[in-house]
Copies of this chain bind each other. A is one copy, B any other.
Amino acid sequence: MTERSRTTDRHYERAFVRSFFTSPTAVDEDDSAKMLRRAAALRGMEAPDVWVPDNEDATAPSMRDEGVENIREVVAEHGGDFPGEIHPRVVWHRDDPATRYEGFQQMLAITDPDAGAVEHIDGFVIPEVGDVDDWKKADEALQRVETEHGLDPGSLSMSVIVESGEAELAMGDLRTEMGKPSNTLERLFLLVDGEVDYTKDMRAMTPTGELPAWPELRHNTSRGASAAGLIAVDGPYDDIRDVAGYRERMRENRAKGMTGIWALTPNQVVESNTAPLPPKTGRWLLHAGGRDIDLDREDDRHVYRGDAADLDALGDDRYRLRLGDDERELEAEELREALVDATSYVPSMTDIVDSMEEFEAAKENGRGAIAMTQSATLDIDGVTVDVEADRMWDEATYQAAKTPITLFQDVYAHRPDQREAFAERYGEAVVERATEVGDT
């Protein structure tokens, strides 16, 4: 018995999508399929989890018929070797039946068995959706496509771009609507935010014209995905030279449960494929002056030389510590405590695997909670201090810590082309342990 409401199942093999990479389907050059061909050749860390031949905004309206032909040709030829999933974006608009009909025709043409592309097409991306009733129209268009071409019902997935207030509200109803017998919305796969058009739809304005951060939209998208067993993806980050900004945005997104992000270039693909995975080496953070500062590793010490904190040894086992505006005189033991409070540790892949294995062993021996200890030598202004931080791990901590490992295992299973890069980054031994931990 599988009671549909019992579990928030994910209906797709992949449980995570890190990167969503769009390519124009037709450009004004000798080979109008040039960008598609280039994208289809990407491999390893440069290849996205989801590749989106974009027959909507990235392609001029006058080129979109040619775009359909290019998708058919390039996907037929190269789709079988492409390491990620392939989800073309077609045109669609909640307010315009002509655009919706055009989108239907594009999907019909792309999936024509005679073209040979359909076996490599995992689904379609539908932009500009509105209320759930509009999502159902897209679902019905896909049902017709499947019927016309004799494809298995539900074999084409559907991902949507959330770029209107209506669509944001619709995500609150998905879980209920997906259970209804009169639709096949179980085909839903990705909920992708589209902040450019969302900003337009909300009529929002910023002084410089840069996009608002829309934290509530991202929360609601992530929650909608979680409640309906789907995957949340953030929209494009326009400033493709600003790698630090892109990483910071991804860090914010992951804290919201939104693991995936749009990528506009192969470089952004590399960044988005890498960022959600645990780092190769752990590092310490010092909290001072309202910020988290990365400490530099020098040999076995974690070093800070900047202006946000000072540490002086006053002799007689006494120290003066300044963190931001806060200055105190402390004895050695108090200093250690103050620094434990003012630091935190970013665990490496190895650290996470170690901790999980240790907890699993303890659990097998009937212990429900154990203390994990992290120790380090900090060096602030040349004064060194040994600190040790304990953290209690119980089942809930273990489950929460598992998310990056579950992600890694999902990636490892579905992206064999990236295994070499992982072995290089983490070492083969750790990769092997990481793929095995957590099955208890």
- Could you tell me if A241 and B341 are in contact, using CB atoms closer than 8 angstroms? yes
A219 to chain B minimum Cβ distance, whole angstroms, is 4
Nearest neighbor of A343 in chain B, beta-carbon distance: B208
- Could you tell me if A223 and B254 are in contact, using CB atoms closer than 8 angstroms? no
- Could you tell me if B346 and A204 are in contact, using CB atoms closer than 8 angstroms? no
Within the assembled complex, what's the spacing in Å between the Cα atoms of A96 and B368? 22
Any B CB within 8 A of the CB of A227: yes
- Could you tell me if B345 and A6 are in contact, using CB atoms closer than 8 angstroms? no
- Could you tell me if A341 and B242 are in contact, using CB atoms closer than 8 angstroms? yes
- Could you tell me if A396 and B196 are in contact, using CB atoms closer than 8 angstroms? yes
- Could you tell me if B57 and A200 are in contact, using CB atoms closer than 8 angstroms? no
Chain B residues in 8 Å Cβ range of A6: 95-97
Residues 201-228 (chain A) with a chain B CB within 8 angstroms = 201-210, 212-213, 215-217, 219-220, 222-227
Within the assembled complex, what's the spacing in Å between the Cα atoms of A397 and B207? 14
Chain B residues in 8 Å Cβ range of A206: 254-255
Chain B residues in 8 Å Cβ range of A196: 396-397, 400
Interface window among A113-121, A152-160, A164-172 = A164-172
A19 to chain B minimum Cβ distance, whole angstroms, is 16
Chain B residues in 8 Å Cβ range of A210: 344
Q: Could you say which of B175, B202, B257 contacts A256, with CB atoms under 8 Å apart?
A: B202
A423 to chain B minimum Cβ distance, whole angstroms, is 23
Chain B residues in 8 Å Cβ range of A406: 203
- Could you tell me if B208 and A344 are in contact, using CB atoms closer than 8 angstroms? yes
A171 to chain B minimum Cβ distance, whole angstroms, is 9
Any B CB within 8 A of the CB of A358: no
Within the assembled complex, what's the spacing in Å between the Cα atoms of A91 and B193? 36
Q: Could you say which of B169, B199, B215 contacts A172, with CB atoms under 8 Å apart?
A: B169
Within the assembled complex, what's the spacing in Å between the Cα atoms of A421 and B196? 32
Interface of A toward B, CB cutoff 8 Å: 5-8, 16, 57, 60, 62, 95-97, 130-131, 133, 164-166, 168-169, 172, 175-176, 196-197, 199-210, 212-213, 215-217, 219-220, 222-227, 241-242, 251, 254-257, 259, 276, 285, 306-308, 325, 341, 344-347, 366, 368, 394-397, 399-404, 406-407
Top 10 closest pairs, chain A to chain B, by CB: A202-B257, A165-B226, A165-B227, A204-B257, A212-B255, A216-B219, A165-B223, A7-B95, A207-B346, A60-B368
Q: Name 12 A/B residue pairs within 8 A (Cβ), A-sorted.
A: A8-B130, A62-B366, A200-B402, A202-B226, A202-B256, A203-B257, A204-B254, A205-B407, A208-B344, A209-B400, A216-B219, A307-B325
